[in-house]
Chains A and B, each alone.
Chain A
Amino acid sequence: MNPRELRKQFPILDQQVNGHPLVYLDNAASSQKPRRVIDAIVRYYEQDNANVHRGVHTLASRATDAYEGARAKVARFLNAASEREIVFTRGTTTALNIVARSYARAVLREGDEIVLTPMEHHANLIPWQQAAKATGAVLRYIPMQPDGTIRLSDVEATLTDRTKIVSVTHVSNVLGVVNPVKEIAALAHKRGAVMVVDGAQSAPHMKVDVRDLDCDFYAFSGHKMCGPTGIGALYGKLELLDRMEPVEYGGEMIEHVDYYDATWKESPWRFEGGTPIIAGAVGLAAAIDFLTEIGMEAIDRHSAELARYAYDRLSGIEGVTLYGPRERTGLVTFNLEGVHPHDVATVLDTEGVAIRAGHHCCQPLMRKLEVTATARASFYLYNTEEDVERLAAALIKAKEFFGHAIG
Chain B
Amino acid sequence: MQLDELYRRVIMDHYKNPRNRGTMDEDSVTVNLNNPTCGDRIQLQLQVENGVVKLAKYTGEGCSISMSSASMMTDAVRGKTLDEALGLAEKFSAMMQGQPVEFEEYEDLEALAGVSKFPARIKCATLAWNALRKGIEAGRQG
CA distance A298 to B9 in the complex (A): 48
What number of A-B contacts does a CB cutoff of 8 Å give?
53
* CA–CA, A339 and B62, complex, Å: 10
Q: Encode A266-297 as 1/0 by CB contact (under 8 A) with B.
A: 00000000000000000000000000000000
Interface string of B33-69 (1 = CB under 8 A from A): 0000111110000000000000000000111110000
Chain B residues positioned under 8 Å from A249 (CB to CB): none
B6 interface residue per 8 A CB criterion: yes
Smallest Cβ distance from A123 to chain B, in angstroms? 15
- Residue in contact with A358 in the complex, picked from B38, B64, B118, B121, CB distance below 8 Å: B38
Known A-B contacts A346-B118, A359-B39; A340 and B7 likewise in contact (beta carbons under 8 Å): no
Question: Could you tell me if A342 and B61 are in contact, using CB atoms closer than 8 angstroms?
Answer: no
B38 and A359: CB pair below 8 A?
yes
Q: Which of A346, A349, A359, A372 has the most CB of B within 10 A?
A: A346
Residue of B nearest to A398 (CB): B3
**Is chain A's interface secondary structure helix, strand, loop, or mixed overall?**
helix
Question: Which of A18, A357, A402, A406 is in CB contact (< 8 Å) with B38?
Answer: A357
B72 in the interface, Cβ–Cβ < 8 Å? no
Interface size of A by Cβ–Cβ distance < 8 Å? 21
A342–B38 CB distance below 8 A: yes
In the complex, what distance in Å separates the CA atom of A295 from the CA atom of B7?
45
B64: chain A residues at CB < 8 Å are: 339-340, 343, 402, 406
Closest 8 CB pairs of A and B: A340-B63, A342-B63, A405-B12, A359-B39, A406-B16, A358-B38, A373-B39, A372-B39
Q: Which residue numbers of B lie inside 8 Å of A, CB to CB?
A: 1-3, 6-7, 9, 12, 15-16, 37-41, 61-65, 118, 120-121, 124
Give 23 pairs: A residue, B residue, CB < 8 Å, sorted on A.
A18-B1, A340-B63, A340-B64, A341-B63, A342-B38, A342-B40, A342-B63, A342-B65, A342-B121, A346-B6, A346-B121, A347-B3, A349-B1, A350-B1, A357-B38, A358-B39, A372-B39, A372-B41, A372-B62, A373-B38, A373-B40, A401-B3, A406-B15
Can you add 9 more A-B contacts, CB < 8 Å, to A341-B63, A373-B38? Answer: A339-B64, A340-B64, A342-B62, A342-B63, A342-B65, A357-B38, A372-B61, A401-B3, A405-B9
